[in-house]
Amino acid sequence: MSKIVKVEIEGGGSYDIVIENDFDRLHGYIDHEREYFIITDENVASLYIDEFTQKVFGKKCPYFAMSAGEENKNHETVLGCYRALMGHGCDRSTTILALGGGVVGDVAGFAASTFMRGVPYIQIPTTLLSMVDSSVGGKTGYDLDGVKNIIGAFYQPRLVYINLSFLETLPFRELSTGMAECIKHSLISDAGYYSFIRSNKKGIRAMEKDLLEHLVSRSCEIKAAVVKEDEKESGIRAILNFGHTIGHAIETASAFSLTHGQAVSVGINAALSVSDVTDDEKADIRKLLSFFELPLVYDIQETDLEVCLKKDKKFSKNRYSYIKLDDLGKASIRSYKDLSGFSSMINIATKGVYNMYPEERFYSILKGEETDRCMLINPVSNATKESCDKLGLRFDEVHTDPDKAAALAAYGYEKLGFDSVMPYFSVVLEAAALGARINWGGADTMPSVRSFCVDDPDSFDIPDDFLDRPPVKALLETIKLLRQKLGKDALIIGKVMGPWTLSYNLHGLEDFLITLIEDPDKAIAFIDKFKHISMRFAMAQFDAGADTVTIADHATADLVSPETYRDMLLPAHREINGYFGEKKLILHCCGYTLDRIKYFREAGFSLFHFDSKNDVTKAFLEAGDMKLTGCLNNPELLLKGTERDVSEKTSELRQLGIRLISPECALPLMVPNKNLAVIKENIIEG
């Protein structure tokens, strides 16, 4: 990608937006006779500052790294910029480089506009939001007393240099917040661009390079055209505030716990109530926002929102301005004399079922409560070879490497739309930690136990350092990494093997089944010993940050009778559930299970992950108040079926009452990712 978008400013000060895939051309824009000073944030500095300065300058460059986040877009941070500039002897010959997201760009731009009454600056945005919005147009400033951008200036940069390679490592939360602005641009200015986003939303979510390039390019073109007509927002530029009147107030009221894009999404939804597009078009816009995990409403009192609205800098001369859509791709500016005119927008923004965090949605479904929508989860494994290939990983390398496992687990959430992440991709970690020999599989094969390590339950003791042994410790570290990376944005599901499956993996499947027949007391002793491994490992996963844990225990009708489950395993399962109290556990059991679901319910499981071999309606009758998930067939539907087949089956399950949609088991590694992405699309489309 190599493109230049011209931002033309009447009276001088025009500049280029250079869109590239690297920093090679930036070197040519640098006047090496001048002094440069970088303003960035701590996150960007830790990742990129050394590489950036070496690439662009061939040497180190002085910089100031502010604390990251909107809460640090304040007067104290601006003063920190001034002091850093003075401390390094900067003067009017210095050019500031703003290297970071929107907060960095706004603060650095304002510092540039005021330091020594104005020095040049260059915007180098690192997030989608800053690439398509805040770096272009010259708006600079900071927040004061909780009021967003109340202090600021129009001060155009000398250059905007966009390196698209930053998007390759962009967390989904940052993609999502940037998409709110891209969707806004399309709605106010280009219906064809809106159609492009709708048609390519799955590819955009998967961060396909050519699609992201078009997003950045087209949004920059739209904003540049508006700025050309009205640099300082005395007229038409105000259409860029579509969704921002309510959105900024929501952002302030949330104490910036919502990202800018999330708040703007709520504002867009509110503004649709006064816009002249059809009801079907409004519904499609809301679905598109929801597909990118953007909220439509926010849980706040109307009076609190009104207080924040009154502080908005866009209100003047007792006129309260807002932007409405006249049609797809066309917007206009309107105003009311007082806030009463905003009643419908305020009502839309604050009423209804607000967009829940996944953990909240999950537990509400388990309680039978109303939620904003269904969920897409997998309690056992989302890993596919295609996902590994996209990440440059081999499947057999991820199981004991926390960084690689976290990247693979997060991929299903970030790129395919799952609401959950599952970092345990096999069934062998406990066995590996306890001394069994493991075949870790290959690029497209699952790990398996090669030799067993427990002959007699009475001679086996759980080692004190079990949780510190590499395979187990790696999973716990992976869960911690996922919690740090994803926060509350994804449901983190842990997993342990139940005592029945541990008996297979540690003593041997055939030997354990023979023991069931010939020496039932010994079989029960195995179960009683191994249940403590399950409980200990599961609790450690909760402590590491898991929201729920799957107990994978394969006491299926393919191997044993329901009476055997009732008499031998049900007591252990009941004890496990009792041990965890209010924490909710998922049971996974493959194969035909209709004849024992009632016992799973008696054991106290909150959710049963079941196989497509079971009739859904009958399963509901057996489950009672225990919730169900699963039943999307793996070998025939997800592996071999079409996207349409998968979508139709998803609709069928939802109509039958399944609110937690899931594949029936761990995915076959060769399942095509397109067949997974379409599940979330179906859920959002409703």
Contact 585/551 with Cβ under 8 angstroms? yes
| CA gap 395, 608 in Å, rounded | 27
- Residues 301-322: tens digit of each pLDDT: 877 777 777 776 666 666 778 8
**Whether residue 357 has pLDDT greater than 80:** yes
Distances (CA, A) of 678 to 108, 141, 252, 408: 41, 41, 35, 19
To which H or E segment does residue 219 belong?
A: helix 209-229
Give the chain's mean pLDDT.
93
In 467-561, alpha helices (H): 470-486, 499-507, 509-518, 520-544
Fold of 171-205+217-355: Dehydroquinate synthase-like, alpha domain (1.20.1090)
| CA gap 433, 465 in Å, rounded | 10
Token output for 248: 């900024």
- The predicted pLDDT at position 315 comes to 63
To which H or E segment does residue 20 belong?
A: strand 15-20
Query: Span 243-249, mean pLDDT?
Result: 89
- The predicted pLDDT at position 549 comes to 98
Say which amino acid occupies 314: K
**Whether residue 290 has pLDDT greater than 60:** yes
pTM for the model stands at: 0.88
H helices then E strands: how many in the chain?
28, 21
What's the pLDDT band for 176 if we cut at 50, 70, 90?
Answer: very high
Query: Span 445-459, mean pLDDT?
Result: 93
- The predicted pLDDT at position 318 comes to 66
Angle, vertex CA 677, rays to CA 676 and CA 682, nearest 5: 100
If we measure between CA atoms, which residue out of 291, 299, 296, 307 comes closest to residue 273? 296
Largest Cα span, the chain: 94
- The predicted pLDDT at position 237 comes to 85
C-alpha dihedral sign at 507, 510, 516, 517: negative
Backbone angles phi, psi at 267, to 5 degrees: -65, -40
- The predicted pLDDT at position 355 comes to 75
Backbone angles phi, psi at 606, to 5 degrees: -85, -25
Q: Residue 169, exposed/middle/buried by CB under 10 A (0-12, 13-18, 19+)?
A: exposed
18 beta partners? 4, 161
3-state SS track over 424-475: CCCCCHHHHHCCCEEECCECCECCEEEECCCCCHHHCCCCCCHHHCHHHHHH
| CA gap 247, 268 in Å, rounded | 8
Q: Residue 614, exposed/middle/buried by CB under 10 A (0-12, 13-18, 19+)?
A: buried
- Residues 378-392: tens digit of each pLDDT: 999 999 999 999 999
Distances (CA, A) of 517 to 228, 513, 561, 564, 568: 83, 7, 12, 10, 12
Backbone angles phi, psi at 586, to 5 degrees: -105, 135
Query: Span 282-286, mean pLDDT?
Result: 93
- The predicted pLDDT at position 310 comes to 74
Which residues lie closer than 8 Å to 10 by C-beta, 6 or more apart? 228, 231
Distances (CA, A) of 554 to 303, 419, 504, 558: 54, 25, 9, 9
- Residues 525-574: tens digit of each pLDDT: 999 999 999 999 999 999 999 999 999 999 999 899 999 999 999 999 99
- DSSP 8-state class, residue 280: H
Query: Span 76-103, mean pLDDT?
Result: 96
- The predicted pLDDT at position 314 comes to 62
Token output for 169: 């490592």
Contact 182/132 with Cβ under 8 angstroms? yes
Other CB atoms within 10 Å distance of the CB of residue 243:
29
**Whether residue 350 has pLDDT greater than 80:** no
Angle, vertex CA 390, rays to CA 384 and CA 639, nearest 5: 30
Q: Are strands 320-327 and 330-336 parallel, antiparallel or unpaired?
A: antiparallel
| Range scoring the smallest mean pLDDT among 33-37, 161-165, 384-388, 676-680 | 33-37
Q: Are strands 147-154 and 159-163 parallel, antiparallel or unpaired?
A: unpaired
- The predicted pLDDT at position 254 comes to 85
Token output for 650: 């998803």
- The predicted pLDDT at position 594 comes to 97
Query: Span 480-497, mean pLDDT?
Result: 96
| CA gap 106, 114 in Å, rounded | 13
Query: Span 61-76, mean pLDDT?
Result: 95
In 230-340, alpha helices (H): 244-253, 260-272, 279-291, 302-310
Q: What share of the chain is helix, strand, coil (3-state, %, to 5)?
A: 50, 15, 35
| CA gap 511, 448 in Å, rounded | 17
Tell whether domain 359-685 is in CATH 3.20.20.210: yes
Contact 524/575 with Cβ under 8 angstroms? no
| CA gap 475, 477 in Å, rounded | 5
In 318-381, alpha helices (H): 343-350, 358-366
Query: Span 644-672, mean pLDDT?
Result: 96
* b/e map 266-297, b = 16+ CB within 10 Å: bbbbbbbebbebeeebeebbbbbbbbbbbbbb
Torsion over CA of 119, 125, 131 and 134, rounded to 10 degrees? -50
Tell whether domain 1-169 is in CATH 3.40.50.1970: yes
Token output for 511: 């030997």
Contact 371/342 with Cβ under 8 angstroms? no
Q: Where are the domains of the chain?
A: 1-169, 171-205+217-355, 359-685
The number of angstroms, rounded, from the C-alpha of 459 to the middle of its chain's C-alpha atoms is 46
C-alpha dihedral sign at 229, 231, 234, 240: positive
| DSSP reduced 3-state for 626 | coil
| CA gap 530, 220 in Å, rounded | 59
| DSSP reduced 3-state for 376 | strand
Token output for 284: 């499609």
- The predicted pLDDT at position 322 comes to 85
Angle, vertex CA 238, rays to CA 234 and CA 240, nearest 5: 145
